[in-house]
Every structure is written in C-alpha cells, then in structure tokens.
Chains A and B, each alone.
Chain A
Amino acid sequence: MPIGEAAAIEFADVSFRRPGGLRVLEHFNLSVAAGDVLALVGRSGAGKSTLLKLVNRLLLPDDGAVRVEGRDTREWPPVRLRRRVGYVLQDVGLFPHMTVSGNIGVVPRLEGWPPDRIANRIHELLGLIGLDAAGVADRWPDELSGGQRQRVGVARALAVDPPVLLMDEPFGALDPLTRAELHVEFHRIQDRLRKTVIIVTHDMGEAFALANRIGVLDDGQLIACDRPEAIAASPDPRVRRLLDAVPSIPRP
C-alpha cells in the first residue's frame, strides 16, 4: 500500500465472539487499500462470513475497531454505511416477490431516485453484467438460471455505485463453466469500476482467479496476506494444505 493513502477498510486488533462465547476472531488485523480485490480463503467455520458482516455493521466487534473509509463502524449510521457497501450473498437473497428490475432498483428506490433515473440505471447495469435487458428485466427470480441470478445479485449490489463491494462465496453454487464465465465478467467489470472488493471463498482456485491480494484465515488468525504469487510460494504448511486442495488436471 502506498504510504499516505488511507486504507479503505481496516481491521485494528479486532476480537469477536459468537453469543455462545465461541471465539471467532482474536486480535485480528487487516487492511485493504482502495481499489484492491482481496480474497479471504479459509475452511468453513474459519470466520470468513463474520468478517464481512463486521464491515457492513451487521455485527459489531467485541474489541478493537473496524474502520470503513477511515471511520469506525460504530460511528457510522448503519443505514448510510450499508448503502455505501454493496453486499453479494452466498445464496444471492434475491427478493422472490420482485422482478429482476425490481430487485436491482431496491437501493436506488430507498435512496429516493426519480423513476427515470432508476430505469436508466437498471438498463445500464444489466448491460454491465452481460444480460439482455429486454429479455430479463421483467422476469421473476425463479425463472432465471443460477448464473443469471448471481449476475442480478451483483448488479443489485452495484446499483448505487458503492465504493466497497463485499462478496460471500458469490459463485460457490455454480457449475465450473458458468463460474469461469463469471470470473471473466468480474475482471471486465472491476477493470471499469475499480471498487474495493473483499471476496470470501473456501476455494483457493477462485481466489487466484479473481484477487490481486489473498489472505489466508486459520483459527481466527490471518496467517498470510500477500500477492497471489507470494502465497503460491508460501512454505507455511497450513497454506500449503489449502493450495494442495486445488484440483489440477493431469495432462496426457
């Protein structure tokens, strides 16, 4: 990170316990620079989703501070913070009672945009995520394929152009081909938009495909956080185990 540039997102000595007392994060430190794509990799239960929820204040830390754009999440009004932070959920969470354009238009409507501006924005976003506006805008979520749903989820998160995007296992439920397609789309979009992105995944392969920085979580600690090449070369056995789990196809 260049000196003097404030981190877009910063975890400073954060501890978090589940209500039952189970420790999830312990003295956790991490900073993400503006425009970076950080992939957090770890096994299920390593606290990855908790990390994201601490950023948009769905959860508050027991100790330490999470700062977004330099401001402690405790001091952010929750609604304003959340509208500056796009959130793509693991199971998409599209509203089943709204059409595609209804879903994408939710936050603009909450922000009180005039209807024609919302309509233009929906058209623009559908183009951005590579869906045919005329064919999809009035469809219902259950009429879409898994890949289309996921794209709509991304479009919805980007609707009011938030500077930060959080993605929780965004492409986990998709078949490998669709996933590869969306990885390409993601790069195309990110090249244009330059958001600060945190992606949470248990798949090291996906982390390499998407991120320019990779963090490895183990037992509530960040055991490595570096550029993908450096992670690939890590001698740490805990990192190596995750790397070894990436399938490599034997060539004839």
Chain B
Amino acid sequence: MTALLAFWSAHRTELAALFGQHVLLVAISTTSAVAIGVPLGIFASRRPRLSAPIVGIANIVQTIPSLAMFGFLLPVPLIGGVGARAAVVVLILYGLLPIVRTTIAGLTGIDPSIREAGVAMGMTPGELLRQVELPLALPSIVAGVRVAAVVGVGAATIAAAIGAGGLGEYIYRGLSMVDTTVILAGAIPAALLALAVDGFLLVAERQLSARRRRGARRILAIAAVLLLAVMGASRLMARASHGAIVVGSKNFTEQLILGELVAQTIERHTDLPVERRLNLGGTLICDRAELTGDVDVYVEYTGTALTAIFRQPVAADAGTVYAAVRGLYARSGRTLLPPLGFNNTFAILVRGDDARALGLKTIDDAVRVAPTWRAGFGYEFLERPDGFRGLSQAYGLHFTAPPRVMDLTLTYRALAAKQVDLIAGDATAGLIKGLDLVQLEDNRHYFPPYDAAPVARSETLLRHPQLRAALEQLGGRVSAADMRAMNYAADVEHRDITEIVRDFLSR
C-alpha cells in the first residue's frame, strides 16, 4: 500500500495524463457509439425483420476478444494502425451492441396507445420521434450507454497494447516487470473510474425514469462540466506532441528500457520533440506501426527481424545476419542503425539448484533429463521459426507433456516456483540473476544472433540529419552486462525506468 502511494506520488503528472487519456478514450468512443447506435436502433425498431440481424452482428462483434480486434484492425487503412484512433474504433464497436439493443427495447416498449395519440394529434413521424418516442425510450437508452461506458473503461485498458495510452499503460508495464504495485497503480484508478461512471449514469437513468426533465438537464450539464474539466486537465498535462519523433517499443522490460534509452538520447542530442509510444503489443505490431508511420524508431533484434518479420531461414553468423537484415529493411523504406552492442539471444534456462545437482551446462546435457520435465514458453517462442519446433529438432529435445504456454515474463516466476522445469528466456533478463537461474549453453549454435539495433523510418532520418547522428552514437554503447544490470534494476529492484536510463546515459 505504501509502495503504491509512493508510486502514485512519484508519477503524479504521468498518472494524471494517463487518467485523462483514459477518460478521453472512453468519452469519445461512447459518444460516437451513441451517435451511431441510437439511429441504428431507431432504424432497426422500425423494421423488425432487420433488427434481429443487426443485433446479431453487434453480438458477434462483442464476442471478439479485444486484443484480437486490435490485431484485425492493425492493417486496415484510415481506421486501423496503432494509437488512439484505432483504439477509439475498437471501443466504438464494443459500445454499439448495448446501445442498439436498449434503443430497440426502449422504442418497442412504448405503449401503442401513446404512439397512436401522437399520430392522431397530427404529429409528423419526426415530431413523434423527437417529442414522444425518444423521451420515453431515454431511460432505457441511458441504461445501454451505462453498460457501454463501463465496458469501455475496461476495454480501454487493453488499448495500451497498441499505444493508445490510458491507465492500461501501468497494467502492461507492471505485467512486463512482474511488479504488482505498477499493475495496481493502473488497475485501481481504472476500477474506480468504472465505478464512478456506472454510479453517475445510474443516477442519470433513475432521474430520467422519474421524468423530471429539469433533473435530466442538470445531469447533462454536470456530465459536460466534468468531462470538460478532465479533458482540460489532461490537455495541460500532455505535451504538445505534433510533429514529434515517435519512439516505440515492445511490451517487455528490456524493450521499455531500450525505448526510453532511444527517447532520452534523442532528447539529449537534438532539439526534436519526442513522443513515447512504448509497450506496443509485440514484434509485428511494432513493425506494422513503423511501416504505416505511426512509429519512427524502435529497437529490433537482428535474428527476430530476419526470421519473424522477413521470414528468412535461420542463419548463424552475426555479421551476415546484420547485413542481410539491413538490406531487407532498406527495401521497405527503413534504416537499420549500428547495433547497440549486445546479443539478446534466447536463453534456455533452468533453476540453479537443478543445474548444480545434475551438472547441467549445455542444452545437450538437458536432453537427458528432459523426458521427465515440463517446459513453459511464451507465445512467440512456440510460433517463431527460430523457436521451439526447430530447437526440439536440432537437439532431439522432448518433454513429458506439450510445453505450457504463458506470458513470457511469467515464465521466469513459473520456473522459480517449480511449476515448470525449463524455459526459454532472454539472455539479458535481469531476473536470471534475481531468481538464481542458469543459462544452458547453445552448444549446437541453433539460435541465430539477436543483436539489438535501432530501426528507423528512412524518411524521418532524411528529414532530421541530427536524429541519425544521435542514434548512430548509441552504436556499441550497451554491453550485455550493461543490459542485464538495467533489466535487474527494473525487474528486481523495481527502480524507475526513466531514472535507470538517465543514470546510464550520464555515466
């Protein structure tokens, strides 16, 4: 609890900005969902034959897991990509179902004699809708808006995976650092926000069903003032980021550190404004974002680029791989800058106790005991061409059961807690030291080199020659020991990443 309060007070500016972004995401998407959903509901209520299919489609949309939805939208032009715009589109899609459904229910639930009275008094269809049908359906519609807004607050936390900001940033950051405090730092305000939105709209709904129009107007006024206040505050907090260099990163500790490293380097050596869009969902999300121009630079690993992005066969020599990847990037309008100086290869890890007791030094050694072991891997390692399938073939490695799939950052804990016996982690992970794990040597040289190097959009580099100079002077500056120390500081000592990088750069 004290740690949480300390975290909030140390990050209060950032917290306020993320909170503001979160409210803004939900407000914009819910408002748009109302603007689309209410007319759609009116339309459907007039044509009973169409209302079933419309509600059906909205139902299906709602069942798509939000992360998958962000994935679907990544390649879509205009509405897709990464950032707040794509997040708003997804949140609108989620909000539509409850609003359409309650609009239909509210309109079809009106007593027919009341509608007939309106028609008989000489109301045109438009007058009937505005003066009778919509006011009577309003409590029902507000109930739908309430559901949509609360779902929106929840789904918006996931939007951080595509760099839309919001309180999900802390949740993802906490997950990748395996730091409960940071997870709670995002989760608690998000939950409170959901409760507040729910409570406020519930009161609005009650007031409206009591038909006290003046009350309704007061509620709308309060809502508008609150929203303006939050938006104003967050605008003050948010730096003007137009035309800024956008730095991306993937969603694990080392990437967050490298993203911050690149960002601070640019800030130190150029006068260019920098926008951080860290914690993006994974390799392919970063790659897409850079291709579409949503991100200008992020740090990639040569082996990952070769196999996962460009789908080339695995190669062993670091120099050959770097040259090949540089050429491939050049063809897609990007420039691979000099490597930072460390190779973050996959590390096959076992518990230190096991290694010492069984005398395990290489992966070959582990092949003997593996048939009685369980393995745990991240999603990427199971899928990648340079991942588990190839490893299993190269070494003849087999376990008692198929490997358990879990979040990469959780595998370290699972190994230490003896839930699994062997994992594939990062060679530079700070947790290796923190949890007393041992890396088995890749004695058959199965894994390709994973030299970390910044990749930037060539167009951005051409526009800002000083940016190129700044990134180039990072070449060779980060050794494997440096990287492991920084990861250790973040993952085990729970130090603030901004500070870790600042200390490193001012050495």
Contact = CB atoms under 8 A, between A and B. Distances in A.
- B is bound to A: yes
A82 B127 contact: no
B393 interface: no
A110 B113 CA distance: 19
Interface in B123-140: 123-124, 127, 131-132, 135-136
A41 B79 CA distance: 65
A58 B120 contact: yes
Contacts of A90: 113
Interface of B: 111, 113-114, 116-124, 127, 131-132, 135-136, 211, 213
A97 B117 contact: no
Given A106-B131, A110-B127, A140-B211, A82 B119 contact: yes
A93 B124 contact: no
Nearest to B131: A106
B117 A93 contact: yes
A19 interface: no
Given A83-B121, A87-B121, A140-B211, A58 B135 contact: no
Given A107-B121, A110-B127, A89 B136 contact: no
A101 interface: no
Contacts, number: 54
Nearest to B117: A93
Contacts of A113: none
Nearest to B114: A93
B119 A95 contact: no
Contacts of A201: none
B123 A110 contact: yes
Residue picked from B117, B121, B213, most chain A C-beta under 10 Å: B121
Interface in A53-102: 56, 58, 78-83, 87, 89-91, 93-97
A89 B122 contact: no
Nearest to A79: B122
B117 A82 contact: no
Given A96-B136, A97-B136, A110 B114 contact: no
Contacts of A81: 122
Contact of B121 (A96, A97, A106, A140): A106
Given A83-B121, A89-B113, 11 more contacts: A82-B120, A87-B120, A89-B120, A90-B113, A93-B111, A93-B116, A97-B132, A97-B211, A97-B213, A107-B122, A140-B211
Interface string A89-132: 11101111100000000110010000000000000000000000
Contacts of B136: 95-97
Contacts of B117: 87, 89, 93-95
A90 B116 CA distance: 11
B113 A91 contact: yes
A87 B120 CA distance: 7
Contacts of B119: 58, 82
